[in-house]
């Protein structure tokens, strides 16, 4: 698949007038019965579709929202599922995912600042404290070419590792992940396993570049040959197209993805010289428990 077709998991069409009310409701949302009914439906979709395969669902019918209203809707809908988490040490609850002319190899660059593809990962594992249970992406503008979502479910990873207990054992032990932040007083790394079974449900934390950067930090032990081999094996699995779910979000669509069980990335994208600007997604992180 090249990702040129619309993304096609479970889809939920939102009435345009209701979407606008949700974006405008603010503190009055609790007084609007239809908004509260929508929140209940959204929570039901999350319970039904985030806990198992494919670990995601999509809201549609939001293309009439402008930049400001789309931001407000993204935050409001995210807050209906749980606590919207800060995405940086300054506490920003929403991040604009767009090309900022950076490369992932730069010390403080994040995947969300680049137009690079591949590098399948989960979100928020590089920050101290709680890792988001799920995250959202609202597509305000899509790229001229590329930028399709690519997802692999942790159950498929574990199935492929049944005959490699050595790899599974290494990935279940902690690694150092770079926090991508040089602010004084901010930790330079956090330690987490790539595959975590602590709460009885398998979850995954990963971005290879962050692992390698973390183990290059002063005072951190280098990756061992066994760790490198295990990460190489995992990367080979994540590169297998038969394990991929691929598709492009359309402008005005918002995807909810289980960050505990879905490793995701995108295909590289090109924006060209669009007068309205290039590919732009609004992202939130959500703690649901």
* Segment 266-283, tens digit of pLDDT: 999 998 666 568 999 999
Reply yes or no on whether the pLDDT at 114 is more than 50: yes
Residues 6+ apart with CB under 8 A from 238: 120, 152, 157, 263
Kindly tell me the sign of the dihedral angle through the C-alpha atoms of 117, 118, 119, 124: positive
**Confidence class for position 4, pLDDT limits 50, 70, 90:** very low
Q: Which residues contact 74 (CB under 8 A, 6 or more apart)?
A: 94, 136, 138, 254, 282, 284
Residues in a beta bridge with 83: 287
Which residues, 6 or more positions from 52, have their beta carbon under 8 angstroms from its beta carbon?
none
- Rounded distance between C-alpha atoms, residue 76 and residue 124, angstroms: 20
For 85-112, the pLDDT digits (tens) are: 999 878 899 999 998 888 887 777 888 8
Bridge partners of residue 135, in order along the sequence = 257, 285
- Cα dist from 262 to 113, 147, 205, whole Å: 21, 18, 10
Domains of the chain: 11-287 (3.60.130.10)
**Is the pLDDT score of 207 beyond 50?**
yes
Residue 20's CB: how many other CB atoms inside 10 A?
17
Phi, psi of 155 (to 5 degrees): -65, -35
Does pLDDT of 209 surpass 70?
Answer: yes
Rounded to an integer, what distance in angstroms lies between the CA atom of residue 80 and that of residue 15? 17
SS3 string, 57-77, reads EEEECCCCCCHHHHHHHHHHH
Express each pLDDT in 225-260 by its tens digit.
Answer: 999 999 999 999 999 999 999 989 999 999 999 999
User: What is the band of 182 on the pLDDT scale with cuts at 50, 70, 90?
Assistant: confident
- CA–CA dist 110, 164 (Å, integer): 31
pLDDT at 64 over 50: yes
Select from 145, 139, 209, 198 the least CA-distant residue to 174: 198
Both structure tokens of 30: 């609790």
Cα(233)–Cα(223) distance, integer angstroms: 15
Q: State whether residue 80 is helix, strand or coil.
A: coil
- Strand (E) or helix (H) holding 17: helix 16-25
pLDDT of residue 1: 34
Q: Are 140 and 240 in contact (CB under 8 A)?
A: no
Residue 97, strand partner residues: 281
**Structure confidence by residue, pLDDT tens digits, 214-225:** 999 999 999 999
Question: Is the pLDDT confidence value at 34 over 70?
Answer: yes
pTM of the predicted structure, to 2 decimals: 0.91
Q: How far is CA 238 from CA 102, 195, 224, 244, 285, in A?
A: 24, 14, 21, 8, 23
Which pLDDT score is estimated for 26?
67
For tokens 């007083």, name the residue: 185
Average pLDDT, the chain: 91
The Cα–Cα gap between 130 and 29 comes to 27
Lowest-pLDDT range of 72-76, 90-94, 162-166: 90-94
Pairing label, strands 253-258, 56-60: antiparallel
């Amino acid at each position: 698949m090249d990702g040129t077709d619309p993304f096609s998991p479970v889809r939920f069409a939102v009435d345009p007038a209701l979407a606008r009310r949700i974006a405008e409701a603010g503190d009055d949302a609790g007084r609007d019965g239809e908004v509260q009914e929508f929140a209940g439906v959204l929570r039901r979709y999350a319970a039904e579709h985030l806990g198992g395969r494919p670990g995601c669902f999509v809201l549609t019918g939001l293309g009439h929202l402008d930049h400001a209203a789309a931001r407000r809707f993204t935050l409001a809908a995210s807050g209906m599922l749980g606590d919207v988490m800060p995405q940086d040490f300054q506490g920003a609850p929403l991040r604009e995912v767009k090309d900022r002319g950076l490369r992932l190899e730069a010390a403080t660059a994040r995947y969300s600042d680049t137009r690079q593809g591949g590098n399948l990962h989960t979100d928020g594992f590089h920050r101290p404290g709680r890792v988001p249970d799920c995250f959202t992406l609202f597509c305000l503008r899509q790229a001229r070419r590329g930028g399709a979502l690519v997802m692999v479910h942790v159950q498929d990873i574990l199935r492929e590792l049944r005959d490699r207990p050595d790899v599974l054992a290494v990935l279940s032990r902690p690694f150092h992940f770079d926090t991508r932040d040089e602010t004084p007083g901010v930790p330079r790394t956090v330690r987490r396993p790539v595959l975590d079974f602590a709460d009885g449900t398998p979850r995954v934390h990963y971005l290879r570049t962050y692992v390698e950067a973390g183990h290059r930090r002063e005072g951190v032990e280098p990756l061992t040959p066994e760790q490198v081999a295990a990460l190489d094996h995992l990367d080979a699995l994540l590169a297998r197209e038969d394990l991929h779910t691929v598709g492009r979000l359309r402008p005005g669509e918002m995807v909810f993805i289980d960050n505990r069980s879905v490793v995701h990335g995108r295909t590289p994208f090109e924006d060209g010289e669009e007068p309205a600007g290039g590919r732009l997604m609004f992202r939130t992180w959500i703690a649901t428990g």
